[in-house]
């Protein structure tokens, strides 16, 4: 009995916290339609909290203090779509827990719990799917710049390391190629966005070029700061993997994708490109007798 009371208390705390968090998000939301959707989510979570509270009426339930402050901060940085979907990843776990609790739930409460499970599974997802946010519409352009830069520029660095064994040359080459490619990618994004009346061509071009060249700078820095080839390559590659992981996690939450699969594919592509480029560079350097001594 004690264990069941503890589970009811945990469920009540979770639902109360999410009720208050959605309420805070609604107050901060500028778009009327998004504000109304968040308000509905808050009301629904409050009803769920009241159900669990009714099972432990003699216990005072308090929300998770950290979540009340950290999640609204997360919304300021990563946007309302990511934040709400991130919250709902927790709800998916809750559904499994609720289903496991059905058998031990008092008979007169089971139908109510089934209704809550159905709301968690369908209604909340439907509401969240209606959220509209400008930054999400430009994620494709960010992905275009960031993902392409990480793969391409890592390959450029590895290729020039294979030819010259010089970290400085590799860094300079990656930066020059990256600068030109950022302009090219931005131009392509501009032309593509001109065909979509819902997107700004200028913003699309800027987002693509900025994400591309920003990645180029982060990937090149180790080559300017470190003279040991292996260390510079390892750190630069690690930076690329971290960038891929961060962006893949963001998109996997927003678009309901499998993080491990998406990240694994991107990381393998990046590392395979680097290895192939280094081998090609090494072969070309050998054929033309180019090495570190040439620089």
Higher pLDDT, 236 or 1: 236
Is 2-133 a CATH 3.40.718.10 domain? Answer: no
Q: Sign of dihedral through CA atoms 58, 60, 64, 69?
A: positive
Packing angle of the helix pair 229-254, 167-193 (nearest 10 deg): 20
pLDDT of residue 256: 82
Among residues of the chain, what percentage have pLDDT more than 70? 94
pLDDT at 167 over 80: yes
Percentage of the chain lying above the pLDDT 90 cut: 48
Most confident of 197-211, 228-242, 280-294: 228-242
C-alpha to C-alpha distance for 158 and 12, rounded to whole angstroms: 54
Please report, for the chain, the start and end positions of each structural domain, with discontinuous segments joined by +.
2-133, 138-294
Q: What is the pLDDT of residue 7?
A: 85
Single pTM value for the model:
0.81
Residue for token pair 């909340």: 124
| Cβ-based neighbour number of residue 106 at 10 Å | 9
pLDDT at 154 over 60: yes
Q: Residue 291 pLDDT more than 70? A: no
């Amino acid at each position: 009995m004690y264990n069941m009371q503890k589970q009811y208390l945990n469920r009540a705390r979770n639902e109360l916290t999410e009720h208050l968090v959605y309420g805070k998000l609604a107050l901060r939301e500028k778009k009327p339609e998004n504000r109304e959707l968040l308000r509905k989510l808050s009301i629904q979570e409050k009803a769920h909290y009241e159900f669990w509270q009714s099972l432990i009426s003699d216990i005072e339930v308090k929300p998770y203090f950290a979540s009340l402050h950290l999640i609204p901060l997360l919304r300021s940085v990563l946007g309302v779509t990511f934040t709400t979907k991130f919250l709902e990843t927790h709800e998916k776990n809750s559904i499994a827990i609720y289903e496991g609790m059905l058998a031990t739930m008092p008979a007169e409460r089971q139908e109510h719990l089934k209704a809550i499970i159905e709301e968690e599974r369908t209604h909340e997802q439907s509401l969240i799917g209606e959220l509209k946010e400008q930054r999400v519409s430009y994620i494709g352009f960010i992905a275009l710049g960031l993902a392409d830069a990480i793969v391409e520029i890592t390959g450029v660095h590895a290729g020039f390391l294979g030819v010259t064994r010089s970290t400085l040359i590799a860094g300079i080459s990656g930066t020059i190629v990256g600068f030109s490619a950022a302009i090219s990618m931005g131009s392509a994004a501009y032309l593509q966005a001109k065909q979509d009346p819902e997107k700004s061509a200028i913003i699309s071009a800027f987002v693509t070029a900025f994400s591309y060249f920003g990645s180029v700078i982060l990937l090149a820095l180790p080559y300017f700061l470190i003279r040991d080839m292996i260390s510079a390559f390892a750190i630069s590659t690690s930076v690329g993997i971290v960038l891929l992981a961060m962006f893949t996690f963001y998109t996997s939450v927003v678009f309901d994708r499998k993080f491990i699969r998406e990240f694994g594919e991107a990381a393998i592509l990046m590392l395979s490109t680097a290895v192939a480029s280094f081998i090609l560079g090494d072969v070309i350097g050998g054929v033309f007798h180019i090495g570190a001594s040439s620089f």
